[in-house]
Amino acid sequence: MILAVLDDSPAALDMLAYTQSLGQQVEAVTFGAADTDDLAKRGVRAVHRIAHDELADCAPAASGEALSQLIEHLRPEGVVGVCSDAVTEAMAHVAAITGLPLATNCVEVSTGDPWLLTRVRGGGMLLEEAELHASPALLTIAQGVSGDIGAGPVESCEVREFTPELTEAAATTQQARIVERASRGSGMTLATAPVIVSGGRGVGSADGYRALEELAERLGGVVGCSRVATNNGWRPHSDQVGLTGTKVAPELYLACGISGATQHWVGCMDSKVIMAVNTDPEAPLVRRATYAVIGDIHEVLPAVIDELKARSEG
Ligand SMILES: Cc1cc2nc3c(=O)[nH]c(=O)nc-3n(C[C@H](O)[C@H](O)[C@H](O)COP(=O)(O)OP(=O)(O)OC[C@H]3O[C@@H](n4cnc5c(N)ncnc54)[C@H](O)[C@@H]3O)c2cc1C
């Protein structure tokens, strides 16, 4: 049996589907409420709900200890987590507590002795083939990796409450604490938007993003940016694409005035279509893009917006 550790992100459901495609019985683990109807539709017969007062927001050490106890109790062959910050950190605590190796960011997995893995390293620049000699195998699945659910729906998913006995140490070593909660303006995020209109130094100022916002709205997408834009205070960090921002994979990534440094490229390279608008025909992103427009974004973007307006009115 494999335990799939979920959080409340859509990526967790992709990870669950991928884990189910490995051909073994999969049971889910959550630290909060579980949508049992949805899990039953996805063929999951049991969800272990870890509950404890100390497991409030951002309690990675306590979550890791709780998860270790559940693993000890259930003795699964593998524990697979979604590669989110919270789950990865909890899994790292599990690895430290149990002395087992943890393989993060896997894009391909086959179970066995050893488990065979392909992992993304170096911010996406390197794929590593690895053997995992451990029982249980601890790993996380990279975001964006999904699979066909092998099992059909089941009648119901049983909730099994698990109350860990947390040591005082786990309860008190909460290095992480939430200082601010920012709500998103719309339902679409960089991670889910089909279109991203992204801007870099070439946009020139915070005001310059108005054209990108208008274009994104007309195309049904959101605005992204390079690190130069966040460093300059033109955009919030939540808009940043790249190694130290969000990794994106939209249908269309429109890169406006972005050179395409490696740290940016690793964040957008999985986009289906990349179009670069840049004055420099030799910019790395222009050379790698599916399509490129060589020109000044302050002329190109208004022209595109005018054309879209004319089409929607005509
Ligand atoms: C550890 C580390 C992590 C990093 N993480 C990230 C990250 O997550 N994301 C990220 O983006 N960067 C990251 N960086 C920074 C990265 O190395 C680059 O410095 C950054 O991506 C460059 O941003 P840019 O393309 O906007 O600017 P530049 O490299 O300066 O490029 C600007 C581009 O705009 C073009 N241009 C200028 N004016 C116009 C115009 N009017 N019309 C059209 N084109 C124009 C220029 O020809 C040029 O190609 C990281 C760096 C380090 C060291």
pLDDT, tens digit, for every residue of 159-178? 999 999 987 666 655 555 55
**CA-proximal residue: ligand 1, atom 53 (nearest):** 263
**Atom of ligand 1 minimally distant from the CA of 199:** 26
Q: What is the pLDDT of residue 276?
A: 98
Domain count, the chain: 2
> CATH no. for residue 131?
3.40.50.620
Q: Is residue 186 part of a domain?
A: no
Using only C-alpha atoms, what is the Rg of the chain? Answer: 22
**Do 73 and 139 belong together in one domain?**
yes
- Calculate how far, in angstroms, residue 263's C-alpha sits from the geometric centre of ligand 1: 9
* Between 148 and 308, residue with greater pLDDT: 308
Q: What is the pLDDT of residue 245?
A: 85
Which strands form 291-294's sheet, in the order they lie side by side? 222-225, 195-199, 252-256, 273-278, 291-294
Q: What is the pLDDT of residue 173?
A: 55
Q: Euclidean distance between the first and final Cα of the chain, in Å?
A: 59
Q: What is the pLDDT of residue 126?
A: 79
**Do 167 and 199 belong together in one domain?**
no
**CA-proximal residue: ligand 1, atom 48 (nearest):** 259
Each residue's pLDDT tens digit, 210-252:
999 999 999 999 999 999 999 999 999 889 999 888 889 999 9
- For residues 35 and 44, what is the distance between their CA atoms, to the nearest angstrom? 11
- For residues 110 and 98, what is the distance between their CA atoms, to the nearest angstrom? 22
123: containing domain: 2-172
- For residues 79 and 76, what is the distance between their CA atoms, to the nearest angstrom? 7
**CA-proximal residue: ligand 1, atom 26 (nearest):** 200
* Between 188 and 167, residue with greater pLDDT: 188
Q: Is residue 110 part of a domain?
A: yes
- Calculate how far, in angstroms, residue 9's C-alpha sits from the geometric centre of ligand 1: 29
Each residue's pLDDT tens digit, 262-293:
989 989 999 999 999 999 999 999 999 999 99
pLDDT band for 77, please (50, 70, 90 cuts): very high
247 CB under 6 A from ligand 1?
Answer: no
Q: What is the pLDDT of residue 32?
A: 85
Q: Is residue 178 part of a domain?
A: no
